[in-house]
Amino acid sequence: MTAARRTLVALGRGAALAGLALLGLAAALVMLTAALLTFLLGLVFALPPAVRLTRAVTGLARDLSGRWSGVPVDDPYLPAPSPPVPQADGWYRDGRTLYKKPTIPAFNKRWNWMIKDPATWRDLAYLLAAPVTCGLVAAAPLLTAAYGVLRLAGGDPLGVVWILLAAGVAYWYAPWALRVHGGVAAVLLGPTEKTRLARRVSHLDAARTEVVDSQAAELRRIERDLHDGAQARLVAIGMTIGAAEQLLETDPRAARALLDKARDASAAALQDIRRLVRGIHPPVLAERGLGDAVRALALDSPLRVHVTVDVPERASAPLESAAYFAVSELLANAARHGDATEAWVDVSARGPALRVTVTDDGRGGADPGRGTGLRGIERRLGAFDGVFALSSPAGGPTTAVVELPRAFPLRVAPRSPWRMLGGVCWALWPIALFPQGLVAMVLKLAGSPVRSWFLGLYMPEPFQWPVIVGMMLLGGGLLTVALTTTARAMREKESGCG
């Protein structure tokens, strides 16, 4: 894409965002009206359609933030309520009232769900803030150019200056304005700390159940293996030695043969235990860590496996173990099903995360839904918030990526000076936007003699409007900066410990 085209695209998107902001403002007014009708006049049916409307608009803004600003924003809403369930007598209970049909209880549930979700009101805040923060910011170059065109049409040749100015800064300005929208959307439209935590708790809950289940199954398997294997063999050894003891005096040769048998049985028992230990925690992993354990796997594999390891230190034992068994399973799959001859394993640190990539030259077509092995990998990794991604097009090659976050201690970044700036902006933006801007404008329009502390009204006549408009822009700008710095702080926090 050429620079000119990129600028034009960014400008077009900025204009679309400004349009969306205006649409959002309309939606916000609808929502405000609905809220007033609901809470003052009790017209509760007005609220759900208005909420649906605002959610549609903010949903679009979220979508665009991800696609145009590169800041994907997750849905912040609480999960929708489940439909009401009838009691044993066929009636539907809602609080202390019984209903024959589920319509009203369902409506009440949805209504409560909408009204109690902080995201509903944060959506409204976004829609009210968007015209000043995103709309004006994104449309500024176009507005400047339009102003120039108007001046030209009015016969003022200086209008060209405005157009040139807009064209000159657009190259840097337009992409930046899109990023600003992303920051604002992330703060007001993204999930709050509270919803994030609530989701995390339910995710951890599910993960814990999985881990406990699979651990119990694993212990049962070990118990069974010991019971049928080593334990049974040890009993046999004891009995054989006992028999040999009895024969020692009478038939030393037979006793000797029995002892030979006992020795063989003890070797077999050791072999059993060795196999079991390998499945629980491979000794080479305990002795050498993940890098050498993967190298040992590579040596044992019938494939030509190329291993590169680049990690700053050893991760914790359970993490190493999860990564090891993932590599083991993936290499075994490649050799067994994939017809591969060569494989590449890369173990590296990406910030605090441990990333393992396994690629093979097999015929691909691996399906995580089908094999229990791949499911097992996912389950093991799930306990550590690990992610498993598999790309295996038919015909190959197959690439599997395992990423385990927080494998290595994080180097703590110094506190960002941006946060100070954000705080100052948060404190100042209402002063500039409301009293100095909007209120002064209203007074000026009304021709009121009151000047109070409104700077614009103390200016000489030709400067009054520019100062008032400038104050409003300043307020919008400060709010924008405040929101973007907050978004940055949130991102830093998330990459740090999220």
Partner 1 sequence: MRVVLAEDLHLLREGLVHLLRAHGFEVVAAVESGPELLAALVGERPDVAVVDVRLPPTFTDEGLQAALAARRRVPGLPVLVLSQHVEQLYARELLADGSGGVGYLLKDRVFNGEQFVDAVRRVAAGGTAMDPEVIARLLASNSRNEPLGRLTPREREVLELMAEGRSNAAIGQRLFLSDSAVGKHTANIFAKLGLAPSDDDNRRVLAVLAFLGSRPS
Residue 113: closest CA among 149, 81, 156, 159? 81
Least Å from the CB of residue 377 to partner 1: 22
Query: Which of residues 231, 266, 348, 399 is near partner 1 by CB under 8 A?
Result: 266
Cis peptide before 462 (omega within 30 of 0): no
C-alpha pair distances (Å), 279 with each of 33, 224, 321, 346: 65, 14, 10, 22
280 binds partner 1 (CB under 8 A): no
Residue 481's SS3 state is helix
Residue 421, number of CB atoms within 10 A of its CB = 13
246 vs 271, beta carbon nearer partner 1: 271
Say what the alpha-carbon torsion angle 335, 337, 339, 344 is, to the nearest 10 degrees: -50
Helix axes 372-382 and 317-336, enclosed angle (nearest 10): 160
Tell me the C-alpha distance between 219 and 489, whole Å. 44
143 vs 284, beta carbon nearer partner 1: 284
Query: Which of residues 63, 245, 300, 494 is near partner 1 by CB under 8 A?
Result: 300
160 binds partner 1 (CB under 8 A): no
Least Å from the CB of residue 255 to partner 1: 17
Query: Which of residues 52, 67, 227, 306 is near partner 1 by CB under 8 A?
Result: 306
Q: Binding to partner 1 (CB under 8 A): which residues in 208-227?
A: none
Residue 179's SS3 state is helix
288 binds partner 1 (CB under 8 A): yes
Least Å from the CB of residue 409 to partner 1: 21
Least Å from the CB of residue 327 to partner 1: 13
Contact window for partner 1 (CB under 8 A) among 70-78, 170-178, 305-313, 377-385: 305-313
Positive or negative CA dihedral for 348, 352, 353, 354? Answer: positive
344 vs 384, beta carbon nearer partner 1: 344
Interaction pattern, residues 330-369, with partner 1; x per rule: CB under 8 A: -----------x----------------------------
230 binds partner 1 (CB under 8 A): no
**Strand locations in 23-158 (E):** 92-94, 97-99
399: enclosing H helix or E strand: strand 398-404
Query: Which of residues 46, 136, 174, 307 is near partner 1 by CB under 8 A?
Result: 307
Helix axes 3-41 and 118-130, enclosed angle (nearest 10): 130
Contact window for partner 1 (CB under 8 A) among 42-50, 115-123, 230-238, 295-303: 295-303
CA distance from start to end of the chain: 35
Query: Which of residues 29, 216, 270, 421 is near partner 1 by CB under 8 A?
Result: 270
Q: Which residues bind partner 1 (CB under 8 A)?
A: 263, 266-267, 270-271, 274, 277-278, 283-284, 286-288, 292, 295-296, 298-307, 341
